[in-house]
Amino acid sequence: MDKRIKLVFLLSIATILLTLAGQAYWLYNQYLYTSNAMADELKNICAKGLATEEEMRIKEVYEYLGEQKIKDTLNVTTTISYDYSSKRKPTSTSTFTYLLPEKGKVVFNCNGLTSSAAGEIYNKYKAASFKSFQTKVIDSLLTAKGSQKIQDFKHVKMKANNLEPRFSTEIGWETKLKVAYWSNPLFGEGIAFSIPIPVSNVIKSMMWQLIASTLLLIVLTICTLYQIKTIIIQKRIDGIRREFMKNMIFEMKQPEETGADGECLRIGDTEFRYGLNELQYREERVILTSRQAEILKLLSDSPNRIVPREDILLAAWGDDSYANSLALNVQITHLRRALKSDEKLSIDVIYKKGYILNIRNQ
């Protein structure tokens, strides 16, 4: 493949790949941006749903048991200690001791909580003991906002260090909002579930646009390859045509008549019939091609003198291109074989200058 054609081809492929990569990278960032925005919206909906669901169960507990009875049965001791060794700010450790009629003495430790959290922890415990978590409350809020229902719901054991729900976003083929919530921190009981984050319609339309662009660029690549293949084939055909025309010109040249055998030149002990493309050494007869005869004619017209390569190339091929220069080396090799029987003749090369037909007298 020609170097210029190869360079154009590589640049075209690189441009196509960079265009696709740029569009895909931009679309991926848009997808992340919209997913994070929708995740933030789902976090607020989910937090409200969890708080509403818990309030409903706590309310049912108070209605069933009575508020005064709950207060009478709860005995809480709160201890808060501070650690001032940190250079940033002191950290607190809260210890809540509960005397539960049905469970006995239960000690709960957690960092960063105030004494007001003791009642909230107890309420979570009573609500979880009285009634299990109801997913339909959160599902109703999600569906009202146009989102999907929760998935992968399960009860889990976990170490409580925050009474608020914890959220994380899982990016993949299906982006999900992961939720972990301590439904009963007193005994390390929690729930976990996920909420699918739908792909926005804008991103979907962009994805179809990217697919369409990819198909168009594939078609463009195929067309580029076909054009390059056509150019290469045409260059080969042009080269064959030029070579054929040159050979036809040489083969159709008319020799000057100097007798029945045409012009006869004697070089060394060899007779060279230029018009017949023939060498005769004693009984040995060698037929040359028209181009070989032309080259030998140029060398024999200037015996024992340098004939420049450029002169031979222009006379025999019409141009001194690199390909023709290589072809000249091949033709010189054939001429040396044709003249090897005559010890008086030799064709020598002069580096970077040309060739000499040496004719020795003895």
pLDDT digits (tens, 9 = 90+) for 126-158: 888 888 888 888 888 888 877 888 889 998 888
The token pair at 73 is 């049965």
How does pLDDT run across 189-215, given as a tens digit for each residue? 889 999 988 776 656 677 777 788 788
> Is 11 domain-assigned?
no
Structural contact between residues 9 and 224, judged by C-beta atoms closer than 8 angstroms: yes
What's the CATH code of the domain at 281? Answer: 1.10.10.10
> Is 251 domain-assigned?
no
Domain containing 181: what range?
26-201
Residues 196 and 277 reside in one and the same domain: no
> Is 250 domain-assigned?
no
The predicted pLDDT at position 305 comes to 92
> Is 228 domain-assigned?
no
Structural contact between residues 92 and 110, judged by C-beta atoms closer than 8 angstroms: no
Residues 151 and 274 reside in one and the same domain: no
Residues 186 and 73 reside in one and the same domain: yes
**pTM value surpassing 0.75:** no
List, in order, residues 6 or more apart from 124 with CB less than 8 Å away.
54, 163, 182, 183, 184, 185, 186
Q: For 77-94, what is the mean pLDDT?
A: 62
Residues 158 and 274 reside in one and the same domain: no
> Is 309 domain-assigned?
yes
Last residue of a domain, which of 182, 201, 220? Answer: 201
How does pLDDT run across 4-29, given as a tens digit for each residue? 777 777 888 888 888 888 888 887 88
Residues 291 and 167 reside in one and the same domain: no
The predicted pLDDT at position 57 comes to 86
The predicted pLDDT at position 264 comes to 83
> Is 243 domain-assigned?
no
The predicted pLDDT at position 263 comes to 67
Provide the mean pLDDT of the chain: 80
Whether the per-residue pLDDT at 82 is higher than 80: the answer is: no
Number of structural domains (the chain) is: 2
Residues 271 and 165 reside in one and the same domain: no
The more confident residue out of 241 and 83 is: 241
Confidence tier at 221 by pLDDT (50, 70, 90): confident
